[in-house]
Structure 1
Amino acid sequence: MTPAWRTALALLWLAALLVAGWAIGQRLELSGDLRRFMPEPRTPAQTLLVDELGDGPGSRLLLVSLSGASPEALAGQSRALAGALAANPDFEFIANGADAGLEAVPESLRPYRYLLSSTLDHRRLDADYLGEQLDERLQDLGSPMAGLVEPLLPADPTLEMLALAEAWQPKVAPQRLHGVWFDAAGGEALLLAQTRAAGFDPTAQQRAYDALQSAFADAAGDSGARLQMAGPGAFSVEIGGRTAREAQWIGAIDSIGLVLLLLLAYRSWRAPLMGVLPLATAGLAGLGAVALAFEAVHGITVAFGFTLIGVVQDYPIHFLSQQRAGISPRDNVRALWPALVTGVVATCIAYLTFLFSGVDGLRQLAVFTISALAAAALATRFGLPPLVDPAPRDLAESPRLQALWRGIQRLPRPRWSLLLLAAGCLVVLATARGPFWENDLSKLTPVPAEGMELDARLRQALGAPDVRYLLVLRGADADAALAATEALHPRLDALVAEGALGGYDSAARYLPSAATQRARQQALPTPQALRAAMAEALADSPFREDAFAPFLADVERARTADPLRPADLAGTPLAATVEGLLLQSDGSTAEGAIALVSLSSLEDVDAVARAASEAGGELLDMKAASESLVVEYRGRVLAALAVAALLLAATVWIALRTPGRVARVLLPMALTTLVVLAVLRGFGVELNLFHLVALILAAGLGLDYALFFEHAGDRRADQVRTLHAVLVCSLMTLLVFSLLALSSIPVLRAIGSTVAIGVLSNFVLALLVSRHDAGDTL
């Protein structure tokens, strides 16, 4: 086959990949829910943690600050911002303190105000009370409040709606200047925005973030005002943006480095194309497999999967390095196939164990990686041979490589030194200071310190819920949970008065239990008694007796109505608030309902925990729950890796059948694992899950290096060609993961540093341990 035909076939393969990529893109549905990478919760606290991380009130809040202009201008911008976003479907509510009046009470709930308010819990709706209220209304009509009070009088002479609106205001709220919230110094206008999207939905959070930025730009104009945002949603957008930017420059440098390295290594412009085709085939095979196997594919699976399949670049490189005149490409790849397929099977085994991890994200990663590795191996075995030059220059004749190989041969073979290396690594691991494992998920966030400080400052100023602590009360149903919360309120009020707690919020503040509503109904007078009481109160009043017919109708409607249930709040602004604080089962289980009490400015954790316990509830420490989840997650992964190690050793034994050969292949990989752990712990790094996953990749690379050195046998020419292939493979991998190690994203840094150290150690140890003593024959 002529070079032109080979090039045409390669371009045709590339075109087919582009078409396949388009087709897979039509089927592929990406997900941004990070809970897919969390293990299945085992305890009630862990279950609640996973739910709240995504849908809890604290996770969906954006904390907004406007500064840099006069207070009057900032107040106007705050109102304009709230007005612009009020109809945006990405937001459930926007609060800036401007709706402290009747707007806080939905129109549909106003007839039920006496069931929702506690005003009449300690006094009766009789002639004396009505007389007092009517006297106060007369004074109001002669005051600046007349314009507000007069429209309300016929239906609400006691102004119960205003009392209810005031009761529903946050317990800890900022000061109001010019009608909106400001910080204590009066220099920043403050807003709270709650998104409809879960906190773990970065796509929807990005949409909400962009809408808020756009609305602010329109409201601020050229005033010089500045917008700052904090909260989980804002942080997820920042993390996503930073990750995308770093991925772009890392990907650009990697691509340029890959092309240049292949051009330099093989002195042919076709080499980069030959190297890219199996890699692209692997990526598309992985994407197609997860698109077919899962309803939605997580973005992390795609990004992380492409990083993990970097090992497949080794397959075409070994093939190209071994090709020379006198052997056909098909015979060449057939000779390499035993070593190549052993490496593929062994690496797949490591990821196969993730299918039993109980974590959906790891299952996706396993399907992606296994499919990609198999596709790359088959592409190298059957796709590349017709495309490569059958008689390129023989790399074994390179003077530079021969000189390098002679230098390597002069190196002493390690024997007892390997035992000393292992012992030294164990000593470092045993004596390293600090915890071995990292259980705090917050330390994996790339949010800068100033961002965390802004979040803490705005959260305190706004009285926003604490994201760490929640009070949890359980009931057989929603009403039982509401009743349990009501019983806790007096204790919490006492703690607020003592300064142990700044404030709290619960569903029962907005929706009392059915028992409380019925008790309030029974306290309402009958129509006859209310008309008589109103007539008596109006006896010496200038108000007309027939002016309050709407009031009489509202009271009778409240007295005879069924108690309000959570479902009755649908379509009102209160629905989102109550749903976030009252979690109900879908009816498929007998788990009942959970009432949450969000806390702000918590000062005395023990006092609040005791109050919760006395009321039959518990104070949930989300940090402790997350750490227990991480520990269980790690335990499952470690168990999977232990099984993988045994299966991997069995695979190598079946392939090689000789104890000495098996030891030469497995020993560099095992020692490298110790070296990587020792280096990381020696520098004070606490290990997390991403270090473990990266160790699997490093082990797979080490296994490949050792297998191909073992496969080269004792012929010097084959060993020189293998040295060339392993050099190119290790340099490419080292470039990719060294750049990741420089990332500001902790997760990427963990992966990059682990694999980079592993590549160096694997290369050196495979070279010293796995290669045969060469003869003089080329």
Structure 2
Amino acid sequence: MKQFDSTSKQRGWLWFVVWALVASLLLAHNAYLWLGKRITPDTDILALLPTQERDPVLQQSFTHMVDAAQQRVIILIGAEDWEASKKAANAYTQVLAPHKDLFDITSLSEKTQSDWLAPFQKNRLGLLTAQQQEQLKTQSAETLANTWANTALSKLYSAFSGPKLGSFQDDPFGTFDTWVQERAQETPVRPRDGYLFVADAKHQYILLAINLVPPAFSITAQEKVMPLLEQAASAARTSLVGNKIEVISTGVVLHAAAAGQQAHQEVSTIGVGSLLGIIVLMWLSFHSLKPIGLILLSIGIGFLGALSVCILLFDRIHLMTLVFGASLIGIAQDYGIYYLCHRLGAKQVDSRTLLKQLIPGLLLTLLCAIIGYLGLALTPFPGLRHMAVFSAVGLLFAWLTVICWFPQLVHANSLKSGKLVAGYSRLLHLFAPPKKTARKWLVALLLGTGCLIGLSQIKTNDDIRSLQTPPKHLVSDQLKLGKLLDAPTPVQYFLVRGDSVEIVLQREENLKRALDPLVEQKIISGYQAISNWVPSLKMQADHRALIENKLLAQDGPLKIIAEKIGEDSHWQTSVTQHLSASNQVLTVENFFLSSASQATRHLWLGKTGDTYASIVAIKGLQYTKLTQLSQAATGLAGVQWVDKIAEISSVLGRYRQNMGWVLLGAYGLVFGLMYQRYRKHTWRTLAPAAMASIITLALLGISGQALQLFHVLALMLLLGIGVDYGIFMQEQNRQAGKNMHENVDEDVNPDSSSDSKNLAWLATGLSAASTLLSFGLLALSNTPALRAFGLTMLIGTALVWLIVPFFIRRQTIPALKKDQHAI
């Protein structure tokens, strides 16, 4: 027997040393990551969204649209007086100008404007507006000749005929001038005094387009860029005394910084709050620093392991993963609490024997918790998968810490109970089912009726926009800027595909013809497309043919002009030859070489795989008319309506439904997992979690909370946690009954069954309290998804704790000698 004890101790110390080596490696790896490699948590919210795996072109189009705006910050600086606006804008740029390593401010010059026109001037004959094209096609020869001749003569002699881009012979009929003016109408922004200018009824704004040099989601951008932007805005507002200066700022970096600051605050609130709560609980329970240190040790190694594995698997970690991981504290300490509570009561048993008795229950609790996190891993959201891996790995490392180290560090009689233990243990006697059958049925009827009423009132809301809470001032600025600039939305657009560039451009032109009636009906205010600037080769050829056959014909309007101004046929021939010389074909490649393409390059995807693709962006979209807009692409080859908001919302709704079935399957899986040990009493371990879940859903319905995916995911995790409490109570009850029957003839304490239940009840209470402190604190999060998750866990965990004592089975044992004993 002594040899067996010696072997057991040697194995225990062997596992202690092995795990010490593992912990040392984790510590070294984390030190390298944070101090050597200097990793920074990812703050890109889009990284949490699902990817379109079935359609890579569609996913690329969304990424392309978002990336185009990611590095840009748009600033509008306005005042009632134009000169005041200019002074304020100068004050703003003076703050940023020295920091060329951070900011690239786009400036406007005469050269910029001339470069803008360069690619189009060589192709004047290939560019017509839709209205001009229709007139040339439908007007009779006589009407066409007189109308266009009069237009040309008016342009030649009138001082108020509008801007002229070149000499009269370059564009006698004003077709190119009109086309350029139509392109300019795509944005209300205009050049003025070397600035970009836009105005509303009250203010005259200067637009500053700023490109960030560092990535918008980098820590550099948030730590260095944001203070400078705030300093520049302050300088603009105080640049003139007596003038009210308005500064409107929009950009991805602003939202990233706000999200990062919010997440940092929540990590502190949730992590520190949970930690302090656990320390207080451990002190009140054991009145010793040693248990507190051991619990913190298991949690710490769990965190180190989770961080290392996530970095190795995903090469990064998201800040939201750390926020969610902060709540890991509430579960990781369960295993240590379970061991310490039983070490407190089993003073006559050595640590290795105690561990052997506890391992089945500890293993089941770990597996059930991991099954709960499996629900997060099954979603299409990369961020949730990272959270699932982080939490599951963290729990595994915390569990192994308890198994390998606690038996060697916590010995019999080394713990003493605090004041909380005796008082809390007496609470168990308050949780007893009614003795009379009639009362039991009455309670069941009332509870069932309340649940049915609550469940019948449940509504769902899968709209992704309900999960976003950016600061109000950013939302306000975004709305103001969108209205002033008539900017298209980056998440709702048409995706056009084809086997070649020419086919894509032709399909864009077909789509635009379908959209024009919607513009006339004011369902949309317009659209942006590459084909607005670069017509298809077929369209360019049609335009040239129309101009040559209608306007430059020998007996056409050019002849009338020559007669009116006293020129002969040689002049007419000279003008025709001069115009024909500017007959180069305009291509997408040439267009992208000019500064005119800066604002629209993001609309061209180019070749993606075996196909070419582009985007037609929509301006002035009315969300109540989305159905009509989406139907505009019906029947058009290669054209697809993309609504990323609806797509992600649909994914949320579909996975909410699917995860409901997965939740039911998980209950079946857990039941099968525990049936081998608990047999006919297995249902008792599952009933508290199941009842708590149903009541939680009912309460959400009664309170008017719209059900979403994150409520269901919380119920998935509640299964893992709730079953833990059921296992705690049933495992100790099972062990106590076994010991009583084995020792029926011995002089043992008849209250040992009650003491065992008190130990399990203590472990359940401490675990529930720490879970409420961690996941419950998520209910205070400003992130709606985490708040929904935390609220569900807060209600559900409290209910499991209240319900689990009612499902303890009562032991029937032989009469034993009485000997009072307390924990």
Normalising to structure 2: TM-score of the pair? 0.75
Of residues 717, 725, 746, the one that matches 2:755 is 717
Pairing partner for 1:72 from 83, 102, 127: 83
Cα distance, 1:43 vs. partner? 7.9
Distance of 1:201 and 1:465 partners within structure 2: 23
Counterpart-to-counterpart distance in 2, 1:104 and 1:264? 76
Task: Pick the aligned partner of 1:20 from 29, 36, 49.
Answer: 29
Distance 2:772 2:213 in 1: 39
Cα offset for 1:508?
A: 1.4
Question: What's 1:445 paired with?
Answer: 468
- Partner of residue 680, structure 2: 659
Structure 2 Cα separation of the partners of residues 450 and 428 of structure 1: 40
Contact residue 511 and residue 636 of structure 2 kept, 8 A: yes
* 1:469 CA displacement: 4.8
Note the alpha carbon deviations across 1:35-57, whole angstroms, 9 max, x for none.
5544454887x984884377358
Indicate how the Cα distance of structure 1 residues 86 and 522 shifts in structure 2: closer, same or farther if over 3 A, else same: farther
Superposed, 1:40-189 pairs within 5 Å as: 40-41=51-52, 48=58, 51-52=61-62, 55-56=65-66, 64-67=75-78, 70-78=81-89, 102=113, 105=116, 107=118, 110-112=121-123, 114-116=125-127, 118=129, 165-171=180-186, 173=188, 180-187=196-203, 189=205
> What is the CA distance between 1:574 and its match in structure 2?
4.8
CA distance in 1, matches of 2:724, 2:563: 95
- Cα distance in 2, alignment partners of residues 112 and 197 from structure 1: 36
- Cα deviation 1:735-777 (Å, max 9, x = unaligned): 2333322333312221221111122111111223237569966
SS of equivalent residue, structure 2 residue 525: strand
**Distance in 2 separating the partners of 1:767 and 1:354:** 29
User: Helix, strand or coil: the match of 1:685?
Assistant: coil
CA–CA separation in structure 1 for the residues paired with 2:533 and 2:210: 17
Q: Say if 2:698 is the partner of 1:678.
A: yes
AA aligned opposite 1:680: L
Aligned to 2:479: 456
Q: 1:283 aligns with which of 303, 307, 310?
A: 303
Matching residue of 2:314: 294
Distance 2:400 2:261 in 1: 36
Structure label with greater radius of gyration:
2
Deviation of 1:685 (Å): 0.5
Whole-Å separation in 2 of the counterparts to 1:503 and 1:595: 14
Match of 1:747 among 775, 785, 790: 785
Report if the CA contact (8 A) 1:278-1:376 is conserved: yes
Q: Tell me, yes or no, if the aligned pair for 1:664 and 1:770 is still in contact at 8 Å.
A: yes
Work out which of the residue numbers 423, 427, 436 in structure 1 matches 2:452: 427
Q: Which residue of 2 is the match for residue 5 of structure 1? A: none
8 A contact 1:239–1:446 mirrored in 2: no
Structure 2 SS opposite 1:627: helix
Report deviation, 1:671: 0.8
What amino acid sits opposite 2:730 in the alignment?
Answer: E
Alignment partner, residue 735 of structure 1: 773
TM alignment of 1:596-607, pairs within 5 A:
596-600=616-620, 602=622
Give the C-alpha shift of residue 463 in structure 1.
Answer: 0.9
SS of the residue corresponding to residue 456 of structure 1 reads helix
Distance 1:131 1:328 in 2: 109
Per the TM alignment, residue 348 of structure 1 is displaced from its structure 2 partner at its CA by: 1.4
Given that 2:75 and 2:247 are in contact with CA atoms closer than 8 Å, whether structure 1 keeps it comes out as yes
Distance 1:625 1:274, change over 3 A: same
Give the secondary structure class of the aligned counterpart of 2:534.
Answer: coil
* Residue-by-residue CA offset, 1:262-302 (whole Å, 9 max, x unaligned): 23332222333211111121122222222222344443334
- SS of structure 2 residue aligned to 1:559: coil
Tell me which of 385, 389, 393 is aligned to 2:407. Answer: 385
**Structure 2 equivalent of residue 264 of structure 1:** 284
Distance 1:723 1:23, change over 3 A: same
In the alignment, the residues of structure 1 paired with residue 214 and residue 54 of structure 2 have an alpha-carbon distance, to the nearest angstrom, of 22
Structure 2 counterpart of 1:559, from 571, 583, 586: 583
- Please name the residue that 1:317 is paired with: 337
Assess if the C-alpha contact under 8 Å between 1:737 and 1:756 holds in 2: yes
Structure 1 length as normaliser, TM-score?
0.79
Q: Per-residue CA shift, 1:185-209, capped at 9, x if unaligned?
A: 2326264758789999686985876
* Alignment deviations for residues 437-495 of structure 1 (CA, whole Å, 9 cap, x no partner): 22111111113566545433432222111467534544444432321222344554454
Flag the 1:630–1:560 CA change in 2: closer, same or farther, 3 A: same
SS in 1 for 2:247: strand
Q: Distance in 2 between matches of 1:30 and 1:569?
A: 39
1:19 maps to amino acid: A
Amino acid at match of 1:255: L
Partner residue in 2 for 1:4: none
Whole-angstrom distance in 2 between the partners of 1:86 and 1:491: 49
- The yes-or-no answer on 1:506 pairing with 2:517 is no
Alignment of 1:192-207 (within 5 A): 193=209, 206=222
Aligned AA for 1:659? K
Q: Residue type of the partner of 1:254?
A: S
Task: Tell me the distance in 2 between the aligned counterparts of 1:205 and 1:553.
Answer: 53
Specify whether residues 100 and 506 from structure 1 end up closer, same or farther in structure 2 by C-alpha distance, changes over 3 A only.
farther
Q: Distance in 2 between matches of 1:744 and 1:355?
A: 23
Contact kept, 8 Å, 1:353 with 1:643, in 2: the verdict is no
- Residue in 2 aligned with 1:587? 609
SS for the counterpart of 1:597 is strand
Letter in 1 for 2:184: Q
Q: What is the aligned length?
A: 748
Between the aligned residues of both structures, percent identity stands at: 20
Please say if residues 494 and 617 of structure 2, whose CA atoms lie closer than 8 Å, have aligned partners that are also in contact.
Answer: yes
**Aligned-partner Cα distance in 2 for 1:163–1:81:** 36
CA offset digits 1:495-546 (Å, max 9, x no partner): 44454432322221122112123344567889xx99xx99x9899899xx9x
1:241 to 247, 261, 270: 261
| Deviation sequence 1:651-672 (CA, Å, 0-9, x none) | 1213x24212x12211111111
Name which of 705, 708, 715 aligns with 2:725.
705
Closer, same or farther in 2 for the Cα pair 1:554/1:336, shift >3 Å?
farther
Task: Encode CA deviations 1:382-417: one digit per residue, 9 max, x unaligned.
Answer: 02333346533443xx67634543452254236647
Moved more, 453-462 or 48-57: 48-57
Q: C-alpha separation between the residues in 2 aligned to 1:623 and 1:573?
A: 32
Q: Letter of the 2:617 partner, please give it.
A: V
Q: How far, CA to CA, are the matches of 1:37 and 1:646 in structure 2?
A: 30
Q: 1:161 to 1:308 in 2, by over 3 A?
A: farther
Contact 1:36 1:361 (C-alpha < 8 Å) held by counterparts? yes
Matched, 1:303 2:323: yes
| CA distance, structure 2, for counterparts of residue 739 and residue 679 of structure 1 | 19
1:649 partner letter: F
Partners of 1:144 and 1:89 in 2: CA distance = 46
Letter in 1 for 2:113: L
Q: Which amino acid aligns with 1:171?
A: E
Structure 1 residues 635, 104: CA separation in 2 closer, same or farther (over 3 Å shift)? farther
**C-alpha displacement of 1:165:** 4.7
| Cα distance in 1 between the residues matched to 2:651 and 2:356 | 47
CA RMSD of aligned residues (A): 5.1
Shift of 1:336: 1.9
Distance 1:471 1:273 in 2: 59
Q: Which residue of 2 aligns with 1:767?
A: 805
Structure 1, unmatched stretches of 5+, are: 2-7
Of the candidates 328, 350, 354, which is equivalent to residue 350 of structure 2? Answer: 328
Contact preservation (8 Å) 1:111, 1:554:
no
State the AA in 2 paired with 1:750.
A
Letter paired with 1:21: N
Which residues of 2 match residues 244-255 of structure 1 at below 5 A?
Answer: 244-255=264-275
Query: Are the aligned partners of 2:373 and 2:391 in contact in 1 as well (CA < 8 Å)?
Result: yes
| Separation in 2, partners of 1:552, 1:389 | 104
